[in-house]
Amino acid sequence: IEQMMEDEDARTNLIVNYLPQSMSQDELRSLFSSVGDVESAKLIRDKVAGHSLGYGFVNFVNPSDAERAISTLNGLRLQSKTIKVSFARPSSDTIKDANLYISGLPRTLSQQDLEDMFSHYGHIINSRVLVDQASGLSRGVAFIRFDKRAEAEDAVKHLNGHTPPGSSEPITVKFAANPNQARNSQMMSQMYHGQSRRFGGPVHHQAQRFRFSPMSVDHMGGGGGVSGNSSSGWCIFIYNLGQDADEAILWQMFGPFGAVVNVKVIRDFNTNKCKGFGFVTMTNYEEAAMAIHSLNGYRLGDKVLQVSFKTSKGHK
């Protein structure tokens, strides 16, 4: 019976990608209702901050309407976006964790160039090039979600360490940290993986060394180590976090900007709730500065964050 239900769903359930940031769930529903009876429409939002992630699911009552929605609405331009409408597949292990994180890209590379480079390895569900808000330029970092995990693995195998035409730097391609696994230190060590290749040291030891390094900046109080000596990384102070904030949220927010050495949420001793602030240590000054520039003033839930370099006593 379950199989039959799934087969039915597979013919009526659509995934809609590249929705404008401002589009609401009601608007999504009414757009698709113009084609036929919609059983349900769901816009996917960030669990923490509540903003739209730019995609959603629409389930029709009749398979014929679902097919018509694909032929009439796929490729429709909404505001500055061209939406993509296709059948959503039932969730199974073959499609889990097919999201890749790519860094070291040439700044001139567009989203289309990126998809052209990766489409050779499989069907791309969506892609995103991170852009610096102030300058509008690419930060050389992107995410790509493939249809199947095997396709993503193929792309990692062929493109990790590959130097794109016209570029002098090899790119790093790896699986994006899954927020649910962020507490798992194995994932953490992979986050520095791209970083350690630049030092030429063996990846494994580099990650190990980072993982257990205490936040040395905190303990030195600036006596011998100014907050920001490169061996211990640059310490960033985050203020105005909600009381449910945890380390996973900090990894998720800062990870895309570069190598994160460690994160710490300051909790109330008795209630174990976050006291409203935390610290993140990053290896590279430029990446830390970019993270501060992009995240200071960021809305997380109902709070606006304040993000700055932590200054230690010895820091001029």
Instruction: Convert the pLDDT of each residue in 132-144 to its tens digit.
Output: 767 778 889 999 9
Burial letters for 146-182: b for 16+ Cβ neighbours within 10 Å, e otherwise? bbbbebbbbbbeebbeeebeebeeebbbbbbbeeeeb
* CA-based nearest residue to 40, from 23, 22, 21, 25: 25
- pLDDT score of 184: 39
Which of the 8 DSSP states describes residue 12? H
CATH 3.30.70.330, the chain: domain bounds: 13-87, 93-178, 234-309
Q: How far apart are CA 141 and CA 278, in angstroms?
A: 25
Distances (CA, A) of 180 to 90, 247, 248: 20, 12, 8
3-state secondary structure of 128: strand
Domain spanning 13-87: CATH 3.30.70.1070: no
Report the length, in residues, of the chain: 316
Q: Where are the alpha helices (DSSP H) in 46-148?
A: 63-73, 111-118
Residue range 220-260, pLDDT digits in tens: 333 333 333 445 788 999 999 998 888 888 887 888 787 88
User: Helix 63-73 to helix 25-33 angle, to the nearest 10 degrees?
Assistant: 100
Q: Which CATH architecture has domain 93-178?
A: 2-Layer Sandwich (3.30)
Strand partners of residue 264: 279
Which residue reads 């939002």 in tokens? 45
Burial letters for 98-116: b for 16+ Cβ neighbours within 10 Å, e otherwise? bbbbbbbbbeebeeeebee
For residue 315, pLDDT over 70 is answered with no
- pLDDT score of 96: 67
Higher pLDDT, 203 or 263: 263
The model carries a pTM of 0.38
CATH no. for 234-309: 3.30.70.330
